[in-house]
A and B are shown apart, each in its own frame.
Chain A
Amino acid sequence: MNIIVCVKQVIDPEAPPQSFQIDSATNRAEMRGASPVIDPYGEYAVEAALKIKDTVGGKITIITMGNNLLREVVKKPLAMGADGLILLEDEAYESGDSWTTAQSLAAAIEKVAEYDLILFGREASDTNAGQAGPGIAEILGVPCISIVRKIDINEKLARIERVTTDGYEVIEVNLPAVFTISNEIGEPRYPTIKGIMGAKRIEPIVWKPGDIGLGPAKMGATGGKAKTRQLFQPEHEGKCEMIEGETPEESAENLATKLREAKIL
């Protein structure tokens, strides 16, 4: 079983919201004072791959795209138990949109050539775009199922559970296939000491755009189909009215009265 997991390096979404800052010149954001992390959504996809490897065996290749990728960050999936790491690392991979991201990742996957499963998180925690998985499925011509919470593999057949509003659907699909993985798959495992030591010895493969046959026409702002007009922090209208009292109980009663008076309840 050859499993490819696409996961990116992102600004830490768990960092305090107060440290969030936008650079309006570049339309990018940062978390001041917090190191980047492996996308938590993508970690669920890594966990899904590891669960499959635990039961039916296989090789897990991670593909991470970006620029200035911190090796200690992008190696985390290796420390969790993945086998190989391909970095699409170049300035040219930045400043694109979902379209160019999917084109670059699809080109890299085609270069890897052998794959049964391609896994993604349900979306990236920075762009929240949720398009790379379905997009790559279209480019490669393989089936795609989103928000998968359980995967059973039987030879070249996958039986999965897909999350719906009311519960879930059971779906079967022949491999290869693309799945986006939901958090219900289970908490991502922590890297073990052995895993961390092992990851140190694995040298990532770095592919520049030329290595996967990509030119400017398919990359960056020119290659994209959408452009970012503006990135901004929404103003929260209305200040919070703090309801006080001599004791917590009295504050609670005052709150109840207030909600009743304001006709909210």
Chain B
Amino acid sequence: MTDNKGILVFCEIKEGKLAPIGTEGLGIGKKLADDSGQELSAVLIGSGISGIAQEAITFGADKVYVIDNDALKIYQADSYLMAFEGLLGQITPQIIIFGQTDIGRELAPRLAFKLETAATLDCVDLSIDADSKRLLQTKPVYGGNANAIYVTKTDPQVVSIRTKAMTPLEQDSSRQGEIINISVAIDESLIRTRHIESVVEEVSGIKIEDADVVVAGGRGIGSVEGFAQLEELAKLLKGAVGASRPPCDNNWIADTVQVGLTGKIIAPELYIAIAISGSSQHLSGCSGSKNIVAINKDPEANIFRQARYGVVGDWKKVLPAFTEKLKELLAS
């Protein structure tokens, strides 16, 4: 084994703040640091970001490395990897934690391969093995039909964590930490991709990733009009509408609200699955929900194995009565 020490969390930045996935990374990172008697560091990469470093300390980081460079204003894998290599020339962490985002899913494996070590992506649990002191990395495989626990033989042990699978610490402004600026030269001639533009596709109402309540429909909804009924319930509950893959493939609803391995992975307080059979690829997108309620006409539907409450029946009869009753209950 090598002399690598410490736990490093790559904290993504969103709109001038730590992205929630960054605070989740620090949350699990802190636990691992405490369990293994190591230090927890964060790394921030971007341009004009030094003001955010203190925020990482309030979420548990002992040290924050800031790589602030105009050339890092927009994420590109090549330039961000250069930043990482610059940092890793100075520190040698034992564990590196990314978020399983559109950025982390690229950076984690590429960095691991550069460092001739292994990455495990989309982990839902991380812990330190009492005997070997190695990181036990639990991730869903076979589309969520099973979990696998992996152990990396080499250091650093690189992982990405599933969004909302880990709990951040309560923010505490009294926490102390050290901020270290790392100067890395970014040779722009070595960036092989050219970022032309980022396009935000607006969704009306609450974004599905942020919603506390998601009302999702499956193949059985059957039409655009059907989804309008789900929309009504979502609006009542101040939530968002979601869908499994078939409704998106059939253009009954936008692809951006697809929940599952080929879509979004969400963990709302309440997930109401309507006419969704519960394929494993879909469940891997919503199994982290605090409560799942299923409405399905097939009593054998797989979704009931995951649900806390279920109603067997035709959604066309169940949903309007459910919405009406809730209106009445919420008004009183």
Contact = CB atoms under 8 A, between A and B. Distances in A.
Interface string B204-245: 000001000100000000000000000000000100000001
Given A29-B145, A173-B192, A256-B326, A146 B106 contact: yes
Contact of B148 (A18, A125, A230): A230
Nearest to A161: B199
19 contacts: A18-B302, A99-B113, A126-B141, A128-B261, A138-B110, A165-B102, A169-B195, A172-B194, A172-B196, A225-B117, A226-B120, A231-B146, A233-B146, A234-B146, A238-B308, A241-B309, A248-B317, A255-B295, A264-B270
Interface string A235-265: 0101011110001111111011111100011
Given A134-B110, A171-B196, A231 B308 contact: no
B317 A265 contact: no
A183 B262 contact: yes
Contacts of A255: 293, 295, 309, 311, 318, 322
Contacts of B305: 17, 236, 240
Interface string A146-186: 11000000000001001111111111111001000011100
Contacts of B237: 265
B174 interface: no
How big is chain A's contact interface, by range?
A: 35 or more
Interface of B: 77-78, 101-102, 105-106, 109-110, 112-114, 116-122, 136, 139-143, 145-154, 192-201, 209, 213, 237, 245, 249, 255-256, 261-262, 269-270, 278-281, 291, 293-295, 302, 304-314, 317-322, 325-326, 329-330
Contacts of A250: 321
A24 to B, nearest CB: 11
A47 to B, nearest CB: 13
Given A20-B142, A174-B192, A256-B325, A241 B311 contact: no
B102 A147 contact: yes
Contacts of A236: 305-306
Q: Interface majority SS on B: helix, strand, loop or mixed? A: mixed
Given A236-B306, A253-B321, 10 more contacts: A18-B302, A122-B262, A128-B261, A143-B192, A164-B102, A166-B198, A226-B120, A227-B150, A231-B148, A257-B329
A144 interface: yes
Contacts of A125: 142-143, 261, 281
A233 B145 contact: yes
B99 to A, nearest CB: 11
A220 B101 CA distance: 29
